[in-house]
Amino acid sequence: MKAALWEIETFDYHTAGEPFRIVPALPFLIEGETAIERRENAKAGDANNIRKLLVNEPRGHADMYGGFVIPPNDSGAHFGALFWHREGFSTVCGHGTMALGTWAVRSGLVRAPEDGETDVVIDIPSGRVTARVRMVSGKVSDVAFHNVPSYVVDRGVEVKTADFGRLRVDLAWSGALYASLPAASAGLEVTPSNLAKVVAAGHQVAAGLANHAAAHHPSDTRLEGVFGTIFHEPMNHAGAGLAQRNVSVFADGQVDRSPSGSGTAARVALLTDSGELAESEVLEHYSMIDSHFSARVVDNVSGPEGGLVVEVSGRSFPMGEGKFTLDADDELGLGFVLR
């Protein structure tokens, strides 16, 4: 009998309903000096095959998300991470960063006090981010994702779509490029009953922006391209600040169950720029399933790589631990995706 080709240990978490499958160690080293170099090298070979193994059915599903823990760029971070989904490797992942911070503290990889906050610093392809984990009586209470600087790229960009007419979107960078538009402008509502139409609209918007000048990163071609389309709508809110519901469609039709960590940072950048959200105010951000993040600006960085440092707060929980294998005789190999 042939031995299994791989045995991959995983720790499965969810952040506000969005899955994140953590791989703390691979059976080989992904070459590169930095996270962005390792991302480029991971796109081919065994790292990409393991991504497919863990995303694809029957071990995963069409909307699966996860990440590899990798060495940090330097001693300033605790570790690095490569984020992946069904289409490949993303440059940022807020909900994944929140899951990784929670996992690092719960596992003892990063020591934390019984009460108080601990910063888990992580190198990712788009920069260095922090998961600020808050402990209460020895348990993780919540976690705040401090993203790379976010900023507005362009506004009112017209996109022609086959099924939803001419739409206008606003573009913002938050470790990846997001296109935002009111759901109502496409004749949609952010509800599960509209899921198929939302996915179709998100795919058509991203496709329509593929060759737009604003989709090109100004300094690094490895970071360019529209990653996600965010459809948003207002919510009634009695307190200070602002409340919105949104859904992010990314990776050619994948749907974020959470309010989207990096997508929320992009929304804060746009809302702050338009004056709808003061820098001292909080955005209460809800997902299609009514899970929730709170977000606010915590810093304003000047310079060519500057922008607003946005803190996105939520909760992340473990769901299980596993060991995934690929038997050498398994005719389905790395698996399949039906949608």
Cβ–Cβ < 8 Å for 281, 274: no
Q: Which long-range contacts (CB under 8 A, 24 or more apart) does 276-280 make?
A: 276/242, 277/241, 277/242, 279/308
Strand, helix or coil at 98?
Answer: helix
Show pLDDT as tens, one digit a residue, over the chain (339 residues). Answer: 355 678 999 999 999 999 999 999 999 999 999 999 999 999 988 999 999 999 999 999 999 999 999 999 999 999 999 999 999 999 999 999 999 999 999 999 999 999 999 999 999 999 999 999 999 999 999 999 999 999 999 999 999 999 999 999 999 999 999 999 999 999 999 999 999 999 999 999 999 999 889 888 878 889 889 999 999 999 988 778 899 999 999 988 999 999 999 999 999 999 999 999 998 899 999 999 999 999 999 999 987 778 999 999 999 999 999 999 999 889 999 999 887
Pairing of strands 139-146, 127-136: antiparallel
CB 122 within 8 A of CB 145: no
Known catalytic membership, residue 93 = yes
| Token couple for 133 | 């984990």
177: β partners: 173, 226
- Options 54, 93, 140, 153, the catalytic residue: 93
pTM of the model: 0.96
